[in-house]
Amino acid sequence: MIYGQELIDELYQKRILPKDKLIALLQAQNPELDAYLFSISQRIAIEQFGRRIYTRGLIEFTNYCKNNCYYCGIRRDNRHVQRYRLTTEQILNCCRQGYQLGFRTFVLQGGEDPYFTDQRMEEIIRQIKGEFPDCALTLSIGEKSRDSYQRLFDAGANRYLLRHETANDAHYAQLHPPELSLANRKRCLWDLKAIGYQVGCGFMVGSPGQTPETLAEDLLFIHELAPQMIGIGPFLHHQQTPFAQQPDGSMELTLFLIGLLRLMIPNALIPSTTALATIHPRGRELGILAGANVVMPNLSPTDVRAQYTLYDNKACTGEEAAESWAQLQKQMHSIGYCLAVDRGDFKPEVHGTQQK
C-alpha cells in the first residue's frame, strides 16, 4: 500500500473529501500514486464513455478583450497583439469545414469583446443552429448578466464554458485586476446552470500563487457546483503579460488533477486541453489516459490563429482543420481510442459495471 492510496479510495467512494484530506492527497502526488489513480480514473472514463473521445471544434472568433487578466496574452493592455474579429460568414465557414470532418459541437470562444452585443451574438447563434440543427453550440465569451445569458440560451446556445480560475478570493485577486471578482464569476456560473446550460468551470494548474490549499478549494467548489464540464490545463507564461517571469505549471500535477476530477464526477466531460498538448509532446494522449474524454481542436482560420495566443508556444497554430482531425485520430488510435462523430452531450452516470 502506497501513501495516498486510501485517500484516493475514499475520494472515489465519497466523491469528496474534507479539505485537510484533499490537501494531503495533493501533496502525496508522485509517479507511483499517479499509476494507482490513473488505473481507476481511466477505467471510470471507459465505463462512462467507452474508448470514444468527443470532439469540439473551437472557433476563436475575436481576440479583442476588455479585461486585463495578469496571465492572459490577449489582455487589454497587450499592445503587441494584432486584434481581429471573424465575420458571421467566416464563422459559418469554420462550422461548414468542421461539420464535413465530423464535428458535432462548435465552441465559440472569444475575449470579452463589446462589439459582440447580445443582439449580434443571437444572430450568429441563430444562423449556426439554423444551418446545423444536429450540432451543439457552446459559448465561451466570459462574464455577462443573467439576462444576457438567458437571451443567448433562448437563441439556441446549449453549453457555456467559464473557468472559475481559482475558488480562493485572495488568489483570484492575485490573478485578476480589482474590477474582476470571484463572487461575480461564481454568480455567472450559478446563473448559467439555473438557466439550463450545460456548464463548464475549471482552472489553470500552477498559476502564480496557487497552493495545495487553493487547489483543495477548487475541488470543493467543483463538487458544490457539480458542473457538466471541467477544463483544466497547466499555466503557461506569456512574454507580454505581468506573469512573463513566472514558472509554468506542471504536467504531472495537471494529470493528477484530471484523475481526481474523474473520480469526483464520473460522467463529467473533461477535455485534454491544448495547454497540456503544448507543455509536452504527448500531453494530449496522457490527459486521455488520466481520465479526460474530450479534445477541442482549433477550427479558426489559420491566418488568425497566431493572434489568439493566450500563452507562449501554443500548440497547433499551423494545421488546417482536416489535418488536425486526421492527426488527432492517429494520436487517439495510438493509445487505443478513437474520435467520435457525436454531439457528446452530458449524460446521466452509467452504473452497474463498476468493479469496486
Residue 136 three-state SS: strand
Binder of ligand 5AD out of 38, 54, 71, 337 (CB under 6 A) = 71
Q: Is the separation of the CB atoms in 73 and 81 below 8 Å?
A: yes
The site map against ligand 5AD for 9-38 (x = CB under 6 A) is ------------------------------
Residues near 190 by beta carbon (within 8 Å), at least 6 away in sequence: 225
| By the rule CB under 6 A, 235 interacts with ligand 5AD | yes
The DSSP element (H or E) to which 271 belongs, if any, is none
Answer for which of 233, 287, 291, 344 binds ligand 5AD (CB under 6 A) is 233
Three cell numbers, residue 315: 500548440
> Helix, strand, or coil here: 264?
helix
Question: Among residues 153 and 235, whose Cβ is nearest to ligand 5AD?
Answer: 235
Site for ligand 5AD contains 107 (CB under 6 A)? no
* Residue 275 touching ligand 5AD (CB under 6 A): yes
- Contact assessment for residue 232 and residue 202, using Cβ atoms and an 8 Å cutoff: yes
User: Given the complex with ligand 5AD, which of 211 and 239 has the nearer CB atom?
Assistant: 239
Binding track over 136-165 against ligand 5AD, x by CB under 6 A: ---------------------------x-x
- Name the one range near ligand 5AD by CB under 6 A: 16-24, 128-136, 211-219, 235-243: 235-243
Write out the binding residues for S-adenosyl-L-methionine.
Answer: 165, 185, 236
- Count of alpha carbons within 13 Å of 87, Cβ hemisphere only? 3
Pairing verdict, β 159-161 and 198-205: parallel
Which residue, 194, 270, 246, is CA-closest to 225? Answer: 194
H helix or E strand, kind and range, residue 1: none
Number of amino acids touching ligand 5AD (CB under 6 A): 12
236 interacts with ligand 5AD by CB under 6 A: yes
Shortest distance (Å) from residue 243 CB to ligand 5AD? 7
For the CB of residue 52, give the shortest distance to ligand 5AD in the complex, in Å: 25
Which three-class secondary structure state does DSSP give residue 318? coil
Q: Which is nearer to ligand 5AD, 144 or 238 (CB)?
A: 238
Considering the complex, state which of residue 191 and residue 248 has its C-beta at the smaller distance from ligand 5AD. Answer: 248
The site map against ligand 5AD for 183-222 (x = CB under 6 A) is ---------------------x------------------
Question: Could you tell me the smallest distance in angstroms from the CB atom of residue 29 to ligand 5AD?
Answer: 20
> Residues at the annotated binding site for [4Fe-4S] cluster?
65, 69, 72
Cα torsion angle, 242, 246, 251, 254, sign:
negative
Binding residues: 65, 69, 72, 140, 165, 185, 236
Point out the annotated binding site for (3R)-3-methyl-D-ornithine.
Answer: 140
How many other C-beta atoms lie within 10 A of the C-beta of residue 226?
13
Cα distance between residue 177 and residue 160, in whole Å? 23
Is-contact 346 48, C-beta < 8 A?
Answer: no
Render the burial of 72-102: b for 16+ CB within 10 Å, e for the rest: bbbbbebeebeebbbeeeebbebbebbbebe
Q: Given candidates 238, 261, 266, 272, which one binds ligand 5AD under the rule CB under 6 A? A: 238
Q: Write the interaction track for ligand 5AD spanning residues 306-345; mark x where CB under 6 A is met and - where it is not.
A: ----xx----------------------------------
The secondary structure element, H or E, covering residue 137 is strand 136-140
Rounded alpha-carbon distances, angstroms, from residue 237 to 14, 74, 125, 251: 36, 12, 33, 14
Return residues touching ligand 5AD (CB under 6 A). Answer: 71-72, 163, 165, 204, 233, 235-236, 238, 275, 310-311
